[in-house]
Amino acid sequence: MNLTTVVVLASIAVYSWKLIGYLVPQNVLKHPGVSRTAGLLTVALLAALLAVQGFTSGKNVEFDERVPALVVAGLLLSFRTPFIVVVLTAAAVTAALRYLN
Amino acid sequence: MASAASVKSMSIGVGIATGLYGISFGALSVASGFDLLQTQLLSLLMFSGGSQFAFIGVFATGGMSAIGTAVASAWLLGIRNGFYAVRMAPVLDVAKGWRLVAAQLTIDESTGVSTAQSELPEQRSGFWITGISVFVFWNLATLLGALVGASLGDPKVLGLDAAAAAAFLGLLWPRLSQSQSLVVAVGSMIVACALTPWLPPGMPILLAGVVAVVVGAFNIFKPKEVAA
């Protein structure tokens, strides 16, 4: 299957949740355990993506120039810095450290 | 309290602010191996930041062999939009055809602005104006980012891998206000790192989701409550 087809199929899959929410009876997803778990699932997946993107290279766990960048990013986020500034600063910190090494 | 005009300016402000980081999505998507069309399709059709970053991030680590887990990660991150839709359905109360449009615009920001309003007319206009402005700015910024990204050099030299990690941190940050979510975040990071040497790319991320299911289902580490 080519990549463009997968992009479209994946998009339909993500859209399906949005549509399901408008079509199911109101009480189905109101169960507190279900909505709590769904909220935590978002947290878990984002945290795992952060860990893999930030602390692994291939099959190895690696703490390199990305770590200080993430510390700086965390500091900026705690001062409510706009997202785009946080992302660009993280790239700049890592690029600078790699250049110096 | 919030007038129609202030809802409008708030909605457009959120649209511009959110849209802007579409630049980072566009650039990272191209750096991950997607072409301009595929990158733009993700913003037009998938239109959910977390899912889009997850999809390109997992693909970047494993290529076509990780495509299944890339789709699954994006899909699972989209679950929360379904819960937003449940909350928005009675507020919007639109006819069937418009539900298809409303569904596509049901994301963190449109739901966030809408639920912050106290009166029904502002709740509705907040949803629509925010949804439409995020959609427009996010897609324009994606195009810009993809064009810039295509002309950039080696992603690692530029620190784009750190930028992608910082993007996930930025998406995660506002969700860490409770001790329970903090525990889940730390637990999932440990699980994902611990499993990376042993499993194909993408799988550690999906399995980290188990942490959320366990903590959520048994409601452990819940915030302290006053006894009733």
- pLDDT tens digits, B162-202: 988 998 898 899 889 888 999 999 999 999 999 999 998 88
Give the 3-state secondary structure of residue B191. helix
The answer to whether residue A79 neighbours chain B at the CB level (below 8 Å) is no
Let me know whether A90 and A42 are in one domain: yes
The kind and range of the H/E element at A24 are none
A83 CB neighbours in chain B (<8 A) are 17-18, 20-21, 24, 167, 170
Q: Looking at the structure, do residues A26 and A58 belong to the same domain, yes or no?
A: no
* A56 & A78 share domain: yes
- Tell me, yes or no, if A22 comes closer than 8 A to chain B by beta carbon: yes
Take residue B73 and report the two structure tokens written for it.
């990660």
Q: Which residues of chain A have pLDDT under 70?
A: 26-30
What is the Cα–Cα distance from B103 to A16, expressed in whole angstroms? 9
Pair (A67, A42) in one structural domain: yes
Total domains in chain A come to: 2
Q: Which residues from chain B sit within 8 angstroms of residue A42, using beta carbons?
A: 50, 77, 79-80, 175, 212
Mean pLDDT for all residues in chain B:
89
**Axis-axis angle for helices B49-62, B160-172 (nearest 10):** 140
Q: What are phi and psi of B157, to 5 degrees?
A: -60, -35
CA dihedral B155, A84, B55, B75 (to 10 degrees): 170
- Crossing angle of helices B49-62 and B67-77, in 10° steps, is 160
A77 with A88, same domain: the answer is yes
Interchain pair A91, B158: CB under 8 A: yes
Tens digit of pLDDT at every position of chain B (228 positions): 457 778 888 888 888 888 878 888 999 999 999 999 999 999 999 999 999 999 999 999 889 999 999 999 999 999 889 988 988 998 998 888 899 999 999 998 899 889 888 899 999 999 999 999 999 999 999 999 999 988 887 778 888 889 889 988 988 998 898 889 999 999 999 999 999 999 988 889 989 999 999 999 888 887 765 544
Distance CA B28, CA B158 (A): 11
Is the Cβ of B81 closer than 8 Å to some Cβ of chain A? yes
> CB neighbours (10 Å) of residue B194?
15
Using a CB–CB cutoff of 8 Å, tell me whether B220 touches chain A: no
Pick the closest to residue B134 from B2, B4, B11 (CA basis). B11
CA atoms within 13 A on the CB side of A21: 34
**CB contact, 8 Å: A71 with chain B?**
no
B-interface mutation test, from A37, A52, A55, most B Cβ less than 10 A away: A52
Q: Which residue has the tokens 């733009």?
A: B40
- pLDDT, tens digit, for every residue of A76-100? 999 988 888 898 999 999 999 999 9
Residues A64 and B189: their CA atoms lie apart, in Å, by: 16
Residues A58, A70: one domain? yes
Statement to judge: residues A23 and A61 lie in one domain: no
Question: In DSSP terms, which residues pair with A56 in a beta bridge?
Answer: A61
Domain coordinates of chain B in residue numbers? 4-175, 176-228
CA distance to A81, B205, B226, per residue, from B10 (Å)? 18, 35, 35
**DSSP H helices in chain B:** 4-20, 22-31, 36-41, 49-62, 67-77, 79-92, 96-104, 108-115, 120-151, 160-172, 179-195, 203-218
Q: Which of B205, B206, B225 to mutate to test the interface with A (most CBs of A within 10 A)?
A: B205
Closest CB to B172 among A35, A41, A50:
A50
The range of the structural domain enclosing residue A21 comes to 1-30
From CA A50, how far away is CA B189, in angstroms rounded?
8
Looking at the fold, whether A49 and A79 belong to one and the same domain comes out as yes
Most B CBs within 10 A among A53, A63, A66, A80, hence the mutation to make, goes to: A53
- A87 with A47, same domain: the answer is yes
* 3-state class (DSSP) for residue B40: helix
A25 with A40, same domain? no
B57 touches chain A (CB under 8 A): yes
Residues 6+ apart with CB under 8 A from B135: B47, B104, B105
Q: Are residues A51 and A67 in the same domain?
A: yes
Residues A39 and A85 grouped into a single domain? yes
